[in-house]
Amino acid sequence: MTTHASRSLVPPGRTRTVPPALHEFAYWLHRYRRTWRGTVVLNVANPLLFLTGIGAGLGSLVNHNNSAALGGLSYLAFLTPGLLAASAMQTAYIDSAHPVHQSVQAKGHYWAASATPMSPVDIYYGHLLFNVFKVTLSATAFTAVAAAFGAVDALRAPLVVAATLLVGAAFAAPSAAWAVTAKRQPTVLAVLRFGVMPMFMFSGTFFPLTQLPGWLQPVVQATPLWHGVELCRTAALGTGTAAGTALHVGYLTVLAVVGLLLGRRTYQRHLHS
């Protein structure tokens, strides 16, 4: 009956000060251990398929016609960084929105974690960290394969990975911030279909902006992916201007920070309702 009285008010954790968010990161990493082999294969096989199929196959067609719009670049050199940015967006969205939405359903993982000393913000940061980690893995694999193909200059590869990371963070933070509030699974899919995929196709990934009708160009230039594609492409080709790079980095950073601030609020509100 009196055992509780003798305990101190400090949690009985022999206080090792690991940031709590890392526990959440560790949870997702632990689950990932079951599936990582499969994703590594995908991470290497996907770029291989893309670069041979689209880059070399389709590219030879494009290159034969000597497309002026590419400014004398080979199609492979044009496509690769764009594809990197678009894939980072896709990975960031899918890996954020789906597991986050699952975790907040009845019996979901977040309810277990939020009954512990973890705060909703710790849970958010930890999960986000894991998503950025996965973007890093796939971006690194993709860039390595591309460098082996000669599609990306090996010396510029680290810069390209860094740019891709920023794209991933800029999409992962707001995606998770929103997904924790999403009521229904079909909504999560609808955003993928009608938001993410159109951006994937039309934000300068597969063809230059100038190929689009004039009225559509400013619309595309307002999308975050266009800034991501431009950043990755100029990083890969070494064609970046100070102003352009500042604009793209600024846009994506603002998106990541706004997402982060939003996520702090939405997680707090939904996990401690």
Partner 1 sequence: MTETTRQPQGTVPEQAAMIRARGLQKRYGAARGEGFTAVAGIDFEVRPGEAFGILGANGAGKSSTMRMIACTSPSTGGSLDVLGLDARTEGARIRARIGVVPQDDTVDVELTVRENLLIYGRYFGLPKAEIRRRATELLDFARLTDKADERVEALSGGMRRRLTIARALINEPEIVLLDEPTTGLDPQARHLLWERLFQLKDDGITLILTTHYMDEAEQLCDRLVVMDGGLIVTEGSPGGLIERYCTREVLELRFGPGEREAMTDKARGLVERIEELPDRILLYTDEGEATLAAAHARGVVPLTALTRRASLEDVFLTLTGRSLVD
Residues found near partner 1 in the complex (CB under 8 A): 1-5, 7, 9, 11-16, 18, 20, 23, 26-27, 30-31, 34, 106-109, 111-119, 271-273
Whether 232 contacts 157, CB under 8 Å? no
- Tokens 């995606």 locate to 175
Closer residue to partner 1 in complex, CB, 160/177: 177
Q: Least distance (Å) from partner 1 to the CB of residue 110?
A: 9
Closer residue to partner 1 in complex, CB, 68/106: 106
Q: Least distance (Å) from partner 1 to the CB of residue 272?
A: 6
CA distance 265 to 135: 24
CA distance 176 to 171: 9
Closer residue to partner 1 in complex, CB, 34/183: 34
CA atoms within 13 A on the CB side of 23: 17
Which whole-number Å values give the CA distances from 54 to 51, 83, 123, 179, in the listed order?
A: 6, 11, 39, 33
Closer residue to partner 1 in complex, CB, 134/233: 134
Q: Least distance (Å) from partner 1 to the CB of residue 154?
A: 39
CA distance 206 to 241: 22
Q: Least distance (Å) from partner 1 to the CB of residue 122?
A: 9
Closer residue to partner 1 in complex, CB, 119/164: 119
Q: Least distance (Å) from partner 1 to the CB of residue 172?
A: 22
